[in-house]
Structure 1
Amino acid sequence: MKTVVITGAGGILCGTLAKALAQHGYQIAVLDLKKEAADAIATEINAAGGKAIGFVANVLEKESLEAARKQINVQLGTCDILINGAGGNHPLGTTSQSFLHEEDLLNTTEGFKTFFDLDAEGISFVFNLNFIGTLLPTQIFSRDMIGKKECSILNISSMNAFTPLTKIPAYSGAKAAVSNFTQWLAVHFSKVGIRVNALAPGFFLTDQNRSLLTHSDGALTPRGTTIIAQTPMGRFGEPEDLISTTLYLCDPASSFVTGVVIPIDGGFSAYSGV
């Protein structure tokens, strides 16, 4: 039985992937910054007949990841597949408007941010969480894969790595770095038999973005309306929409596939708007 390590697995998207992989015979190391969130997903998996254990890990701290790896090796064996799911955005790396207008420089509204007001620490946090938070777990867990067969790494990029979204330069830049790193690492690991690929999800409703895209009654916000208008399939993604591609990229059926970043976005990245 292969062991899958998933970071950020206490969240909606990676929690769904954890449960789906368990249903297909993988044993799951559920990693999250919040132990209770990891344990909740592991409990669901075990109740459904799968095998999973929750572990706490900070993807920005090598010592934390090393400690998790030691526990996983003892309780589940060495890592065969790593899914780097931890990531996210932060308001300090986000502008208030999509476009800069000259009068914005005179706006004194509390919390209003132009490009010139972006916080360097906030931008660093977003970049580190998404890129360094992918690089460090890979350094720690890919060591387990050397000398084994049918091992792979699956990163989580974003469709905004192809064309950046307005307002979120830090997140867009970080996900572009994840895509580039995926290609670089696929080449670097090609001689030791480790495949490296990435998913590029479009717009999925999560705890992080739900209030930005929908009102409390479920109606779309202006930004949510714009997104749906730019999505040819006319809806947000469901967590389950990520499952089939994940299973394919983790399976030996994709043994000659490495270095790809696959958009799962309802056509958003293919649509020019006209």
Structure 2
Amino acid sequence: MAKTIVLTGAGGVLCSTMAKALSRQGHKIAVLDLREEAANSVAQEINSEGGEAIGVSANVLEKESLEKAKQVINNAFGEVDILVNGAGGNHPLGTTSNPFFAMEDLQNTTEGFKTFFDLDPKGIEFTFNLNFLGTLIPTQVFAVDMVGREGCSILNISSMNAFTPLTKIPAYSGAKAAISNFTQWLAVHFSKVGIRVNALAPGFFLTDQNRALLTNEDGSLTQRGQQIIDQTPMGRYGTPDDLISATHFLCADASAFVTGIVIPIDGGFAAYSGV
């Protein structure tokens, strides 16, 4: 049965791949992104392949912006059946320069060098807002359509950072932990009105946001990039297509009794002790 699916942050690599895959199952796709050009580009690609999609510009942190987007989607496709909260990201002001604090760091005067004590509350606030409020507010707006109807669900994007925080990125790790917790809370909260809520927890996927951190200009791995591969039993980064089967499962009626779970998709990263 065809459903109307809204994906936020769908102009990006991962969620655009999810949008295209869901379209191939016959669903109507609303591609939401802060960047209107990116949203329209993904929608046009879906339509050129015989799917049915619209691109809509929306800011996940502004309820009024999302309400306007919802009106456009309702007019085009009717009520929303599924929401994929894909918008998220990190901020350099919420990131330390080194994985471990050392005494000499207090005397380091290198421009841009940040210890834990130099973390900017504004960068941390940005990261928490984008990830947590950027999931909560779209859910407030679009889940209204789902109340009391069958086959409706919400899919959040958490991270393996939520289980075990990575070094250097406390704000992002904490924000994704909040997403996992919120997924469970929301699953219980909506359990009596027919809305399922689950999440994916991707491990390391190369995206536009982290490519410069994990790879050099010649395509070789940075030191941190090599650390990740060495800690990943399957020995590679995830590809966008690695998210598709779990997405299909959690969005389908086949998972009608599944709610409140977070599925790791990490190539065995979390299972490996390093020894």
Measured against aligned partners, the alpha-carbon deviations of 1:45-90 in whole angstroms (never above 9, x if no partner) come to: 0000000000000000000001100111001111100000000001
Which amino acid letter does the alignment assign opposite residue 3 of structure 1?
A: T
The answer to whether the aligner puts 1:101 opposite 2:74 as a matched pair is no
Measured against aligned partners, the alpha-carbon deviations of 1:236-273 in whole angstroms (never above 9, x if no partner) come to: 00000000000000000000000000000001111111
Give the equivalent residue in structure 2 for 1:182: 183
Give the equivalent residue in structure 2 for 1:237: 238
TM-score by length of 1: 0.99
Give matches, 1:25-174, under 5 Å.
25-174=26-175
Separation of aligned partners in 1, 2:140 and 2:270? 30
Separation of aligned partners in 1, 2:79 and 2:222? 45
Which amino acid letter does the alignment assign opposite residue 166 of structure 1?
A: T
When the two chains are superposed, the root-mean-square deviation of aligned CA atoms in Å is: 0.4
Give the equivalent residue in structure 2 for 1:268: 269
Which amino acid letter does the alignment assign opposite residue 170 of structure 1?
A: A
Secondary structure at 1:191 match in 2: coil
**Structure 1 residue 216 displacement after superposition:** 1.1
**Structure 1 residue 34 displacement after superposition:** 0.3
Separation of aligned partners in 2, 1:251 and 1:159? 23
Give matches, 1:5-20, under 5 Å.
5-20=6-21
Separation of aligned partners in 1, 2:29 and 2:267? 28
Give the equivalent residue in structure 2 for 1:200: 201
Measured against aligned partners, the alpha-carbon deviations of 1:147-176 in whole angstroms (never above 9, x if no partner) come to: 211000000000010000000000000000
Q: How many residues align?
A: 274
The answer to whether the aligner puts 1:4 opposite 2:15 as a matched pair is no
Which amino acid letter does the alignment assign opposite residue 162 of structure 1?
A: F
Give the equivalent residue in structure 1 for 2:222: 221
Identity, % of aligned positions: 74
Which amino acid letter does the alignment assign opposite residue 172 of structure 1?
A: S
Separation of aligned partners in 2, 1:78 and 1:32? 19
TM-score by length of 2: 0.99
Unaligned residue ranges in structure 1 (runs of 5+) = none
Separation of aligned partners in 2, 1:255 and 1:206? 31
Separation of aligned partners in 2, 1:88 and 1:269? 21
Which amino acid letter does the alignment assign opposite residue 241 of structure 1?
A: D
Which amino acid letter does the alignment assign opposite residue 259 of structure 1?
A: G
Separation of aligned partners in 2, 1:181 and 1:253? 23
Secondary structure at 1:53 match in 2: strand
